Structure 1
Amino acid sequence: MPKLTPEGFETLVQSIADALTSSGWNIEEERAIDYGVSLKLGRGGTVNLYNGKAGPKAVITGKLLEHEQREIEAIVAARVETPKKEETQNAHAAKSCSLLGLKGPWIGSDEAGKGDFFGPLVVSACVMTPELAEQAAKQGVRDSKSMTQREVFDAANWIEANCQTRSIVLLPEAYNTRYPEYGNLNTMLGAMHAKVILALHEATKVRDCLTDRFAKDNVITTHFVSVNAPIKFTSMTKAERDTGVAAASIIARTKFVEAVKELSHQATMELPLGAGAPVKKAAKEMLRLFGPDELQKYVKMHFKTAADIGARPYTAKELANR
């Protein structure tokens, strides 16, 4: 691609900025640099866009998690050359996969919102078959953390139309009520996974189930034993490689983002994702405007961020770790 006109380059920059914003990235600063423009992102990353003689190029830098780096690369590579464009496309190609090696149906489950201060905790489960997995791969179904938000939404529409799914969306107000009953997040998360898995088992009689490992298996399996459900449960790390778990992760992510958008509308302010500096800034403003009682309708109060902004006292453990 040859060098763009100033107007063409400005349009390209705006297109990338819009795509990043629609995928949940906050652009804290846009500034001119030599031969281009720099976009400073809210979670510690930077996208530098250059308009050289050989055409526009992008360089992504900063302290990003692996899945965040992949997501930004995918967004930018769709619009401009990046050093890892070919590598990114090959790495992100969806492949049909049953990590359990099954010839029949199985249930995959995953969650979203666990590490986000704002918004709900979502757990979803999906019934997958080898035949559906082949079709899902053609639709780009893979681990949602390696997908742009638009890709996630498109894949979610296909999954909902072709697969049986169940989800629990635990909004912050209910989350904050239930959290003390369980004592810790993983115990509550285990109960939510068990509930959606049992719902699909009862509807389909599918027994095999796979979940990405986040705790000891008994935080989930104890709920199967209590109702005498004959579920063959497996958990493993990086289970999102499995098409069933990947499909569940896509549904969970979609419902999480939709819920955050609705909460943003109710709060009349944008609620940023994650738990970094932009999140703390927005939470401080919400606390100032509405007070702690209203804040708990939008955030997970057991996060240390709530204490950092003065919405609740520090716990003894938090004080010990300061």
Structure 2
Amino acid sequence: MVPLLTRTLLRSKDFFSLGGSGSDDPPPSPSRPSVFSFSLLPGQIAELGERLREKGFEIRTLEHGFFDARGPLVIVRAYRSGKVLVQGKGASDFVEMFLEPEILGEARIGYEEAREPEADDPHAGSDECGKGDFFGPLVVAAAYVDPEIAPVLRRLGVRDSKEIKSDARAVRLGEEIAKAVRGRCAVVVLSPAKYNELYERFSNLNRLLAWAHAAALAEVARKVPSCPRALVDQFARASVLDQAIGRQGLSLRVEQKPRAESDIAVAAASLLARAEFLRRLALLGKEAGRTLPKGASAQVLAAAREIVRLEGADRLRRLAKVHFRTFAQAAASGSSPERTRIS
């Protein structure tokens, strides 16, 4: 990196004289970061805001922040936590030619936390747990993040729940996530009885999932009316989810994407859903007087057959998802006609 003093002396024009796309300078290299994150002192934030106002930036209000300043090819957002986010095609030049030399007084270009331009922008994410588990509920969770919340979640170690091998850690993370997002989340729990009722009504798992995702996102949108968009791990055709979203009367833009758990909001939702699924499965196990295994394995079938043998298929209906082949197998092999009604 060119030393700060040398870089400052060599430049013939400051950032604001470049005139955005009207400059004769070449555009930034595609490999240069377009998102930068800094921690500033209150005095530095106040000075930054004043200088941007003087330079003609459009200053907007910012939820949970001091200002949202918009200028040629760059957006600067300053949050009450002290975090300042700089993004846009001109972000690198803004940081190197103005923010570092004139506000920070040192060269410490801030892409330690650089990510895709919209990664930490305000948005919601949703994910589910229990879809492939015979016993227990289906849980769909949604969570809201913004540039203030996202770094906190990363420091907690939030990532796709499938990468968290310990159930106990997943439950702890779920509790910490709920605190970190300050309640701006939602959890939709479909007990086995409710799941079986809705599955019969929808006659299709993807339509049922779409309904649950839309319900969770609607609750987050109610808590954060300014939330502009949401991301969901892809599970069905776009039209299926779009119809469910429309029935909820939501105006936010919702996108499905494969492997969306890499997004911090979806990862947070994934862990919230898993934590609640584990809690509910444990409660059902206490009610049943036995440990209910996860998944749909041979161990699960054995447990289901034992429940039918001892208490009948109606008891199993209250603990499990009846459209799984496991239910028919358990009912056929472990029950007597007098004790079991299968409809």
Q: Same fold (TM over 0.5)?
A: yes
Root-mean-square deviation (CA, aligned residues, Å) is: 1.9
Mapped to 2, the partners of 1:287 and 1:194 lie a distance apart of 35
Mapped pair 1:194 → 2:211: no
Deviation of residue 96 (structure 1)? Answer: 7.3
Note the C-alpha offset of 1:228.
Answer: 4.1
Partner residue of 1:157?
A: 175
Quote the residue 1:82 is aligned against: none
State the one-letter code of the partner of 1:253.
R
Name the residue aligned to 2:297. Answer: 276
Q: CA distance change for structure 1 residues 100 and 280 in 2, over 3 Å: closer, same or farther?
A: farther
2:97 — aligned with what? none
Q: What secondary structure sits across from 1:130 in the alignment?
A: coil
Is structure 2 residue 134 aligned with structure 1 residue 117?
A: yes
Residues in 1 aligned to 2:114 and 2:127: alpha-carbon distance in whole angstroms: 16
Question: 172, 179, 200: which is aligned to 2:192?
Answer: 172
* 1:293, distance to aligned residue in structure 2 (A): 1.0
Poorly superposed stretches of 4+, deviation over 2 Å: 95-100, 223-229
Task: In structure 1, give the amino acid aligned to 2:297.
Answer: G
So what's the TM-score if we normalise by structure 2? 0.61
Specify which of 316, 331, 336 is matched with residue 310 of structure 1: 331
TM-score with structure 1 setting the length: 0.64
Alignment-mate amino acid for residue 247 of structure 2: S
C-alpha displacement of 1:255: 0.4
Could you tell me which runs of 5 or more consecutive residues in structure 1 were left unpaired when the two chains were aligned.
Answer: 1-94, 313-322
SS in 1 for 2:148: helix
* Distance in structure 2 (CA, Å) of the matches to 1:212 and 1:118: 23
* Cα distance in 1 for residues equivalent to 2:114 and 2:252: 21
| Structure 2 counterpart SS, 1:310 | helix
Where do 1:139-288 residues align within 5 Å?
A: 139-147=156-164, 148-163=166-181, 164-205=184-225, 206-288=227-309
2:137/2:277 contact within 8 Å kept: yes
1:128 aligns with 2:145: yes
Report the Cα offset of residue 277 of structure 1: 0.7
Going from structure 1 to structure 2, the CA distance change for 1:197 and 1:99 (only over 3 Å counts) comes to farther
Instruction: Measure how far apart 1:118 and its partner are.
Output: 0.3
CA contact (8 A) 2:141 2:213 kept: yes
Confirm or deny: 8 A CA contact 2:120 2:145 kept in the other structure. Answer: no
Offset at residue 152 of structure 1 (A) = 1.2
Give identity over the alignment, percent.
35
| Cα distance between partner residues in 2 of 1:307 and 1:97 | 51
The CA distance in 1 between the partners of 2:190 and 2:209, in whole Å, is 10
Q: Deviations over 1:270-295 (max 9, x none)?
A: 10000001000000000111111111
What is the CA deviation profile of residues 147-195 of structure 1, one whole-angstrom value per residue up to 9, with x for unaligned ones?
Answer: 1222212211211112111011101011111111001111101000001
Task: State the 1:225 CA deviation.
Answer: 2.4
Q: What SS does the corresponding residue of 2:255 show, helix, strand or coil?
A: strand
- Does the residue aligned with 2:282 lie in a helix, a strand or coil? helix
- Return the index of the structure with the highest Cα Rg: 2
2 CA distance for matches of 1:216 and 1:99?
A: 25
Preserved CA contact (<8 Å) 1:124 1:249: yes
- Measured after TM superposition, the shift of residue 229 of structure 1 is 2.4
| Matching residue's letter, 1:162 | A
Q: Number of paired residues? A: 218
CA shift, 1:113, in A, is 0.2
Q: Distance in 1 between matches of 2:159 and 2:125?
A: 12
